[in-house]
């Protein structure tokens, strides 16, 4: 894998990890405020962020990084 491609995946994975952590924090705030409707929506966002992170990590591994 070319350095540029490798670096793109590393950056994309790090960015997605940040998105996951931020979304997890929002979910925790909604749960602590007993705002279950927003928590449910945020849970869906967290699931999507985790799936995207998993996809990026799998693509990175498949490319032989």
HEC letters along the chain: CCHHHHHHHHHHHHHHHHHHHHHHHHHHHHHHCCCHHHHHHHHHHHHHHHHHHHHHHHHHHHCCC
Kindly calculate the radius of gyration of the chain based on its CA atoms and give it in whole angstroms.
15
> What value does the mean pLDDT take over residues 29-40?
90
Structure tokens at 58: 């799998």
Please report where in the chains the tokens 């962020």 appear, as a residue: 49
Quick check: 1 pLDDT over 80?
Answer: no
Task: Say how far residue 9 (Cα) sits from the centre of its chain.
Answer: 13
Residue 35's pLDDT is what? 86
């Amino acid at each position: 894998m070319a350095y540029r491609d490798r670096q793109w995946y590393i950056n994309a994975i790090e960015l997605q990890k940040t998105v996951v952590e931020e979304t997890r924090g929002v979910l925790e705030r909604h749960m602590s405020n007993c705002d279950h409707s927003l928590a449910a929506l945020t849970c869906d966002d967290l699931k999507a962020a985790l799936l995207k992170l998993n996809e990026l990590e799998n693509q990175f591994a498949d490319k032989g990084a």
